[in-house]
Amino acid sequence: MRLLLIRHGQTPSNVKRLLDTAEPGAALTPLGQDQADALPDALAAEKIDALYASTLLRTQLTIAPLAARTGLEVHVRDGIRELSAGDLELRGDDEAVETYMTTVFAWVSGDTALRMPGGEDGAEALRRFDAVVEEAAATGAETVAMVSHGAAIRMWSGVRAENIDVHYAPARELRNTGVVILSGAPGEGWRVLHWEGRAVGPDDSGIEASGPAGEAVDGIQGIQGIQGIQGGGGVNGGVEG
């Protein structure tokens, strides 16, 4: 199965640098809506068979133009929502952000028993995301697009993809409407093919600094140069929300 994991468009919480992970969450900014509107053209080369979004409002707003273009039903699933910030919810201070991201990337490194303060642990987060991926694979769809969230996509890809090491996902920000493309199947393994347009080879462990967040550009690159209308990136180079 070809799996397109797409981060939602920009939200006011992204702009304010807040850990916004609870339902229903923020809507899109005008730039975020522009990013959503650009997705169908950006993904025009993909023959998408199924669409999924999380239970948070921003993913459903982001996927709506793609659903309109393809005519596909959007399956809304709690399992691909953002990683819960727990007691850190709606905080944007450096201490909260550092705690959140340190916990998330400890999960990538294998410490899935570590619990977010007042929230879930890594095993729980992986289990719920896995369940949605398994559901999609069971439909027989060849290409599935899921609009999810930055930290959730980076964490799941960092753990499940066999061709990137523990440094890869933490070193790379995923900007609004950025896309991670994987190939594989539950029980057989996954490989990252592209990370925001960058082709990923076997055992790719190269580390490069994430670019600064919040950069707006005028256009959207094609699927081979993914992605997107950029802007409203993560908090402190990492918290996507």
8 is catalytic: yes
Please count the residues of the chain.
Answer: 241
Cα distance between residue 67 and residue 110, in whole Å: 36
23 is catalytic: no
Cα distance between residue 206 and residue 85, in whole Å: 29
Terminal-residue alpha carbon distance, the chain = 26
- Cβ atoms of 21 and 84 within 8 Å: the answer is yes
Residue that is written with structure tokens 């905080």 in the block? 91
Structure tokens belonging to residue 105: 């990337």
Cα distance between residue 149 and residue 178, in whole Å: 10
Catalytic residue among 23, 46, 82, 95: 82
Cα distance between residue 94 and residue 107, in whole Å: 20
Residue that is written with structure tokens 């609004």 in the block? 176
Cα distance between residue 177 and residue 230, in whole Å: 7
Cα distance between residue 194 and residue 213, in whole Å: 20
Q: Which residue numbers are catalytic? A: 8, 82
